[in-house]
Structure 1
Amino acid sequence: MGVEGRDRQKILEAGAVALTGQLGATVQRLRKAYNLSLSELSQQSGVAKSIISQIERNETNPTLATIWRLSQALDVSIERVLQTTEDEPFLEKTSRSDTPILVSDDGKCRLAIIGWIKTVEWLQCYEFSADPGGVLESEAHQRGSVESLSSREGELEIEVAGVRAIVRAGETLRYRCDRPHVIRNIGPTMAQATMVVILKAAAME
C-alpha cells in the first residue's frame, strides 16, 4: 500500500471512530435518561452487556442489527412523549452531532438516522449516501414491512429477492423489505437518497 493508500486508510479509520463515538454517546445518553443499567438494557435488547459497554466506550463499530435491537429496547411510547398539561406545540430539534450515522461493511455507504427513536418500531427514516461502487446489504425486516427510497442524486440499483430495479434522481421506489435486500451505487458519482421504512404494516399476501 502506497503513502496515499495509507493516508486514505487512516482517514477512513478516523471517520469510523468518530461515527462510532457519536453512536456510543447517543446510546449512553438514552440509557441513562431511561434509568437503565447496562444489565437491564442487555436483557431488554438481547445485546450482550459487554458489547453495549464497548459501544458506549467507542471501542467497537456495531452492526445494523445490533443498533436496531438497542433502538427498540430504548423506545418509549409516542403518547407518553406528547402528553402535556395543556395543548402546547411540540418542537424537538436534533443537531448534526447528535445524529447517529451507520456505515456499511465496505465503508462506502452511510445511513444517517434522522427518524425519531421513539417511532423506530413502526417508522424509520434515513438519509442515505453511497460512494461509487458502494453496497449496502440489509437483512429482512418484519413481515409486511415496506421501504420507500427517494433518490436525490446519482443512480442506485435495488435488489429484492433476486429482482432488480434502477432508481435515478427524482424517482422513488417502494418495495417489500421483509426479505434480504441490497442497495448498490452503480453510477460514477456519489448517490444520495431519503429512505423511509414502514414496519408492522399489514401483511401483503
Structure 2
Amino acid sequence: MAQAGSTSKPPMNSIAATLRRGRQAAGLSLTELAHRAGIAKSTLSQLEAGQGNPSLETLWALCTALELPFSRLLDPPRPRVQVIRADEGQAVASAQADYRATLLSACPPGARRDLYRIDAEPGTPHTSAPHAPGVVEHVLLTAGRALVGPADDPVELSPGDYAAYPGDQAHVFEAREPATQAILASEYL
C-alpha cells in the first residue's frame, strides 16, 4: 500500500542504544528478548547495531517486552523552543496499514499535563504571564495560522505544525486567520 506524505527513517542510533541499554538492564540475552517480543534474533541484532527500518509493530513489541514506554525510543533531547512542522518529525510506519506514528513529545516522569482546545480569531493577541517554574506548553495547530511561543520570539505555525516552549515566561498565541484552532497541553513538573 502506498504511503501518503513523507515518511522519514526512524532515528536508528537512538533506537539501537535504547534497546541495548534496556535489554542489558533487564538482564536479557538477545535470544530471550527476541523470543519475548516475537521477533527473529537476527532482527533484534540488526536493530541493536543501528541497522534496518523497523516497523511500528516490531518496535512496540520490543518496548512491551522490555517494559519501556514507546516514546523513549524516539524522544530526542528538547531544545528551549521546539517546532515540528506538519511534514517533519520521526515517523514510524505500520507494516499492516497506511498509518504512521510521529512522536511530538514524551511526558517526562512525574509530570502532569492538562489538555485544551484553543479557538482563536485575529485581533488582539492572547498574552499569558509566566506560569509556575518548569511549565512547558505544547501547541499543535489544527486550523488557520498563528504566532505562538515566547512573547519576545514567537514562531508562526500552520495546520499540522507543533511547537513546545517554556510556559514559565511570558508567551503569546496570536491568530493570523479566522477560525484558528489548536490543541494546547500544559505540562507541569
Name the TM-score class by shorter chain.
Answer: 0.3 to 0.5
TM-score (normalised: structure 1) = 0.38
TM-score (normalised: structure 2) = 0.41
More helix by share: 1
Tell which structure's C-alpha radius of gyration is larger: 2
Instruction: Flag the structure with more relative contact order, 1 or 2, with Cα contacts below 8 A and sequence separation at least 6.
Output: 2
